[in-house]
Amino acid sequence: MNSSRLMSLHALLAGAAAIALVSGCGGSAKKTTGKPKTKIANKKSTKGKTEADYVKERMKAIHAIVPEGSTCLPEEKLTYQLTLAGEEIILCGNDADRERALGQIACWSVDKASHALTYKGETALPGRSTLVKTEAGCARGYCPPTKLPAGPAHIAWSSDSSKVAVVVGTTASLFEADSKKHLSDINLADEAQAEKAVKGNITDFAFVGDTLFVVGAESAAVANVWMFKADGTAQGTVGSPNPKEKAPISVHAGSLVVLDSDHVGLSEAGLSALYSVEVSTGKRSKIVRKLPKFACSSKELAAYWSMDGSAVPDKCKTSLDAAVGGFIGSDLIAGKKAMLGTLQGKPELVVLDLKNLAEKTTIKLAVCGAEGADAGGAATE
């Protein structure tokens, strides 16, 4: 492993907010932008519903999954995201049902000492996108001149919370966050942009600084990331900091993450490697995670990473799941001395070494219905 690359990423993240957990991470957190302010309009749709009506219906469905004030994670599967708000570690759960697409279900602050959860309700996470369902041609009250089609939409506040981007199909619509004024539309798949246009289905995006990072799934095993400035300028795919590595970075079986307010991360194949882009300067770095030897043949490994339901022998699958399975689709945030991540399918957070991504410890979180926990209180030891 090239130590200069590791130190490069360490230096890039050295000024980021620190994650202070009793389990071993120290430092004080850097204040980040709080919850963006939005207005609820009473403009009626053709069906006579106002935005307030949609909010009421949505909150009823959300509170059926996570009751207001709950201090434990629901048994229902959610996808989880992390951020820092001042010195608070914030964990948010999003609806994993793409058809229902309720968006953010609930957020909690995680106590640094006890790891207990405190209910926060809705807390928009700057930079990170959430899948929501369009309502009367709009997404959460953000309405482009041409009505959005009925169905799912990705929405994200910019990292400074000043703007909002809504992505439906291959179009990104930008708005002022507070006034909800429509600013522009970007054709992310404009053929005139040639190789700089997004290829495949858009599955996720992040909005950090003045840049949109858009994931396009070109095939069942390739999901590259394209960059667009907020003014519509296409910048092409994210590549490796190593000029000898020509291929774009794929986040298939990995994830696109917002490490902090100026850094986007591309997790590759179960966090086997993490690439970092410093948005303000364009600098890039890479960390390679040391993985154990898997009990798999090359054919079995290919079947596992295809994620298409191909049969994988139990011995091989068990060895892979233990090392990389939890990091497929997981979220990460970067601190001064460590990283903190979610683990897919587990009610846990994991603390990772900043230099080599080695797992330092895991933090178990209370789950509703588990022994010693209910919707009103966290499990006690």
Question: What is the average per-residue pLDDT within 16-21?
Answer: 41
Rounded CA-CA distance 142/221 in Å is 33
Angle between helices 298-306 and 314-323 (to 10 degrees): 60
Kindly report, residue by residue over 94-107, the tens digit of the pLDDT.
Answer: 999 999 999 999 99
Question: What is the average per-residue pLDDT within 66-83?
Answer: 96
- Look at residue 24 and tell me whether its pLDDT is greater than 50: no
Note whether 339 and 89 are within 8 A (CB).
Answer: no
Residue 161 tokens read as 């919370």
Question: What is the average per-residue pLDDT within 178-193?
Answer: 97
Residue 57 has what pLDDT? 94
pLDDT > 90: percent of the chain: 75
CA pseudo-torsion sign 180, 182, 183, 186: positive
Rounded CA-CA distance 63/105 in Å is 8
Kindly report, residue by residue over 302-340, the tens digit of the pLDDT.
Answer: 999 988 777 899 999 999 999 999 999 999 999 888 999
- Look at residue 173 and tell me whether its pLDDT is greater than 60: yes
Residue 36 has what pLDDT? 52
- Look at residue 246 and tell me whether its pLDDT is greater than 50: yes
Kindly report, residue by residue over 117-139, the tens digit of the pLDDT.
Answer: 999 988 889 999 999 999 999 99
Residue 18 tokens read as 């620190």
CA pseudo-torsion sign 328, 329, 331, 336: positive
Note whether 49 and 136 are within 8 A (CB).
Answer: yes
pLDDT > 70: percent of the chain: 85
Residue 14 has what pLDDT? 42
Which helix (H) or strand (E) segment is 22 a member of?
none
- Look at residue 145 and tell me whether its pLDDT is greater than 70: yes
Rounded CA-CA distance 299/364 in Å is 35
Domains of the chain: residue spans and CATH: 3-364 (2.130.10)
Confidence label for 372 from pLDDT (cuts 50, 70 and 90): low
Rounded CA-CA distance 165/184 in Å is 10
Residue 126 tokens read as 């700057």
